[in-house]
Amino acid sequence: MTGRIFLKLIAGVLGLLLLALLTVDYFTTRVAKQVYIDSLVRQATDKARTLALLLDDIGAVGQPAARAMAAAAGGRLTLVRSDGRVTVDSEADAAQMENHAARPEIRQALAGEPGWAIRRSGTLGIPFLYVAAPCRGGAVRLAVPYAQVETQVAQIRAKILISTALAFVPAILVAALLARWISRHFATIMAHAGELAGGNFRARLAVTGGSEFGQLSRTLNDTAANLQRTVEQLQLEHSELERLERIRKDFVINVSHELRTPLASIQGYTETLLDGALADPQYNMRFLGIIRHNAERLARLTEDLLTLSRVEQKRQKLEFEPHSIGGLIEESMDLVRPIAAKSSIRLETELDAATPEVWCDGEAVSQILSNLLDNAIKYTPAGGSIVAGAYPAGRFVEVFVRDSGAGIPAEDLPRLFERFYRVDKARSRELGGTGLGLSIVKHLVGAHNGTVRVESRVQEGSTFFFTLPAEEAALPKETAVAG
């Protein structure tokens, strides 16, 4: 490819130079001929004039003398009388020659002015340059073979052509270097365009200088970068769509699974009761108890799912107002106190005195706290303790719920807030859990512009933290503050 561009450029340059050479040749030939003829006419006229001055009587000059004079003047000498008759000629017999009165140069000389003409000689048959000057009793004519003019002009022309051609050598070298430079850049850019066409948008051209090639390279690089960004964006969106689709499928599978277990249990025990167990006082109350337990479980599950979808889709209307976080913690603690007492679990609060009021939806924060306290109680063995509290953290207040329970293995921590994620599925289900509690917590905290995190060590206990805005300015932008 480089070779073809190079050859085309070089052929173009050579063609141009050849055209220039032909033009130079055409004009120099014309000019050289003109200049040479002018100077020859001048010289010959001067010689003819000198001879005219020297000649007293043209009739007295014999042919030997005419030859000598012609040799000295470097031409052919003809002496013509006023009536046009030739008295002597250095190279022909005058008696044989016709009357010359009509020859243009003679006519002009006889009229008193030097004259000249170029024509084929009637006597010798070859072209001559004739120059004539008036003299006493007639005219003196000198003739030079025209071939001499042609030879001289050819020599001048050859010299000019050679020197012009030599002058073109550096031009050709420069043109060749330029052609190589251009063809290389073209080849690089074409190869690059090929890469882009093939989908490799990571390919980049080395940008050199501010030439048109440099600018083109920069433009192509920018285009490639734009394409690359667009492709990456699309890939990102595509994988995000795939991720969402996976989550949706998982969710459907999880929900159906969670619904199936209690439903199957209700169905099984109902059939057993209908088949006769209803009349059996040993079993009927126990089976009804199981049915109620599963029905409650279903109710809790559907309620959790509804809450989650409301919070996720931001349909839950939150009313932000200043609240005392200590008060909210105490209220939530009071609600779980009887359950904790049943498991001999101590409940304590630990509130930093400098904690400001928080801007929050009171009901939502109670929901968050009761989910965390519910977990802490569920996963803490009898005799353990649970501490809940808060302290200031810049424009936020950080709230925590700490337990001395089972703890969570490090590998489970990153996924803990996902929907349906449970560390020990069997145990959680046994405790009536569905794995939606922390997911609801995360979304409710997010709706307050806050963040959740967890620290935990197996056998030592876990601490869940979440932040709430301490001032109105830290609230989410889109929420309208009630009150």
Position 5 contacts ligand ATP (CB under 6 A): no
| Torsion from C-alpha of 459, 460, 464, 465, nearest 10 degrees | -160
Asked whether position 258 contacts ligand ATP by CB under 6 A, the answer is no
Smallest separation, CB 416 to ligand ATP (Å): 5
Partner touching 467 among Mg ion, ligand ATP, none, CB below 5 to 8 Å by kind:
none
Q: Which of 227, 228, 184, 179 is nearest to 206 (CA)?
A: 184
Q: Which two tokens stand for residue 332?
A: 């939530």
**Residue 105 binding result from Mg ion, ligand ATP, none, given CB thresholds of 5 to 8 Å by partner type:** none
Report phi then psi at 93, rounded to 5.
-80, 120
**Residue 434, contacted partner among ligand ATP, Mg ion, none, CB below 5-8 A by kind:** ligand ATP
The stretch near Mg ion (CB under 5 A) out of 8-16, 120-128, 161-169, 368-376 is 368-376
Taking a C-beta distance cutoff of 8 angstroms, is the pair 217, 207 a contact? yes
Select 418 or 471, whichever has its Cβ closest to ligand ATP.
Answer: 418
Q: What is the 3-state secondary structure (H, E, C) of 171-214?
A: HHHHHHHHHHHHHHHHHHHHHHHHHHHCCCCCCCCCCCCCCHHH
H helical segments located in 324-452: 325-342, 362-378, 425-430, 437-446
CB-wise, 261 or 479, nearer to ligand ATP? 261
Nearer to ligand ATP, 40 or 440 (CB): 440
Least CB distance from residue 363 to ligand ATP, whole Å? 18
Distance between start and end Cα atoms, the chain: 77
| Residue from 186, 379, 400, 465 binding ligand ATP (CB under 6 A) | 379
With contact defined as beta carbons under 8 Å apart, do 85 and 70 qualify? no
Q: 115, 437, 450, 469: which one contacts ligand ATP (CB under 6 A)?
A: 437
CA angle 146, 147, 150 (to 5 degrees): 100
Residue 138 near ligand ATP by CB under 6 A: no
Residue 108 or 462 having the CB closest to Mg ion = 462
Query: Going residue by residue from 375 to 394, which x/- string records binding to Mg ion, judged by CB under 5 A?
Result: x-------------------
State the minimum distance, in angstroms, from the CB of residue 457 to Mg ion.
Answer: 19
By rule CB under 5 A, what count of residues binds Mg ion? 2
What is d(CA 483, CA 260) in angstroms, rounded to the nearest whole number? 44
Number of residues that bind ligand ATP (CB under 6 A): 23
Residues whose CB is less than 8 angstroms from the CB of residue 304 and which lie 6 or more positions away in sequence, other chains included: 434, 436, 437, 440
Closer CB to Mg ion, 437 or 469, in the complex: 437
Placement of tokens 């000059």 in the chain: 61
The conformational region for residue 314 under phi > 0 = left, psi -120 to 50 = alpha, else beta, is: left
Residue, CB closest to ligand ATP? 437
Is position 262 an interface residue for ligand ATP (rule: CB under 6 A)? no
How is 394-425 classified by DSSP, letter by letter? TTEEEEEEEE-S----GGGGGGTTSTT--SSH
Closest contact distance (angstroms) between CB of 462 and Mg ion is 12
- Which residues inside 449-468 make contact with ligand ATP, applying CB under 6 A? 462
**435 contributes a contact to ligand ATP by CB under 6 A:** yes
The residues that touch Mg ion, with contacts defined as CB under 5 A, are 375, 437
Interacting residues toward ligand ATP by CB under 6 A = 304, 371, 375-376, 379, 403, 405-406, 408, 416, 421-424, 428, 433-439, 462
